[in-house]
Amino acid sequence: MARQFFVGGNFKMSVVLCGVGREHAVNGSVETIKKIIGLINDAKLDPKTEVVIAPPALYLLLAREHLKPGLEIAAQNVFDKPNGAFTGEISVDQLKDSNITWTLLGHSERRVVLQEDDQFVASKTKAALDGGIGVIFCCGESLEQRESNKTIDVVTSQLRAVKEKVADWSKIVIAYEPIWAIGTGKVASTEQAQEVHAAIRSWLKKEVSEKVAEETRIIYGGSVSEKNCKDLSKQADIDGFLVGGASLKPAFIDIINSHL
């Protein structure tokens, strides 16, 4: 079974405004989120690509209201408890109630800045899947870990924590995002990315099942641009992208269409 190409846009907290000949970063706003969504709605998109965008939580409903049907919205995070006194958190049921069908989890900015560990991320993954929400599960190594040859160990232990809690992988998309490539302009080479994607797939085959290994989308994230996406998309084990900075610009359309 061919895996459907998948492109996610991670708006993070900020938005890049495209002016004439210059760009600058600002925090997302009602106006800028509508502008980006207008750009996506008006573009001709490869109908074979699954597209999911992840605006800041405050704008999830706005985004759902404006984004055209057929394209989906992801939260950037969700909590692992169903309800209760958890100030500042959002539950899986609240996402579903708002027609938000996906969530990112385990993004390195949350693992590092907010100190979310593998167990917590896995527990949130289980909660999302149990509630019927798809999960874009992010994993990846730091530069130091890569330089000491720990890349595969780091990524597989992040995945192992999920395996211990989750049986059904059909709604998981794995995003391999080397931390040193995120927001740095330093994209992993096609060989570096393919090598890790292939290692993740063989881990899935050995530790989960051949079917899950065959069917799970493994997407790449980290400085993906309209310039490097074509070559990356031709790699056997790269099934799409998770795009940060470039998802806020017209380049996102080229990335969605990179597999044409």
Residues labelled as active-site residues: 107, 177
Enter the DSSP assignment of 103. E
Residue nearest to ligand PGA (CB): 244
Q: Which stretch binds ligand PGA (CB under 6 A): 40-48, 154-162, 194-202, 220-228?
A: 220-228
94, 156, 223, 228: which one binds ligand PGA (CB under 6 A): 223
Neighbours of 34 (CB within 10 A): 15
Alpha carbons 87 and 84: distance in angstroms, whole number? 9
Q: Does 250 bind ligand PGA (CB under 6 A)?
A: no
* Cα–Cα distances in angstroms (integers) from residue 145 to residues 22, 204, 248, in the given order: 35, 21, 30
Which of 55/245 has CB closer to ligand PGA?
245
User: Whose CA is closest to 108, among 168, 155, 70?
Assistant: 155
Give the total of residues touching ligand PGA (CB under 6 A): 13
CA angle 202, 221, 200 (to 5 degrees): 10
Q: Does 222 bind ligand PGA (CB under 6 A)?
A: yes
7, 56, 244, 257: which one binds ligand PGA (CB under 6 A): 244
177, 218, 228, 249: which one binds ligand PGA (CB under 6 A): 177
243, 251, 255, 256: which one binds ligand PGA (CB under 6 A): 243
**Spatial CB neighbours of 203, under 8 Å, sequence gap ≥ 6:** 152, 156, 159
Map residue 45 onto helix, strand or coil. Answer: coil
Q: Which stretch binds ligand PGA (CB under 6 A): 126-134, 151-159, 201-209, 243-251?
A: 243-251
CA angle 29, 39, 99 (to 5 degrees): 65
245, 249, 252, 253: which one binds ligand PGA (CB under 6 A): 245
Q: Does 221 bind ligand PGA (CB under 6 A)?
A: yes
Neighbours of 64 (CB within 10 A): 17
Which positions lie near ligand PGA, rule CB under 6 A? 10, 177, 182-183, 221-224, 242-246
